[in-house]
Amino acid sequence: MSNGTKPVDALRFPAILYHREHTWLQADGDAARVGISDYAQDELGDIIFFELPAVGQRFAAGQSFGSVESVKVVSTLYMPVGGEVLAVNDALADTPELANRDPYGDGWIIAVKPDGPGRGGLLTSREYREYLKTLK
């Protein structure tokens, strides 16, 4: 992907964990939410569709759990941790651009029950920002 319009420093990365394939993970008690980063939504441009898993499906860390489609590209979504899907953000079906407008809030994609406490390989917001600079 290299369609983004903004420099990395103009993007927002709250203090949560990030996967190198541009999904994020935010703990919420025993569960956690997963979405795409501000960088990902900027690169995608206008998002028009999400293909999402069913509740109860299990995925390993790094495995594809769905895809996101914009006018420009179709992109695979990767699990930041292994776990079971507890919920899917139904609002994305009618309003996929929520992930453009609010990627860390209303634009969350799925909620998962992580397989364990391990978060190996995920990046802090600072590390993720540095990593992105190597991509730009």
Site for another protein, rule CB under 8 A: 46, 48-49, 69-74, 93, 96-97
What are the angstrom distances between the C-alpha of 110 and each of 11, 30, 101?
22, 14, 17
**How near is the Cβ of 113 to another protein at its closest, in Å?**
28
Nearer to another protein, 69 or 84 (CB): 69
**How near is the Cβ of 49 to another protein at its closest, in Å?**
5
**How near is the Cβ of 66 to another protein at its closest, in Å?**
14
Nearer to another protein, 10 or 48 (CB): 48
**How near is the Cβ of 95 to another protein at its closest, in Å?**
8
Nearer to another protein, 84 or 97 (CB): 97
Distance from C-alpha of 54 to C-alpha of 31, rounded to nearest angstrom: 16
Distance from C-alpha of 66 to C-alpha of 86, rounded to nearest angstrom: 15
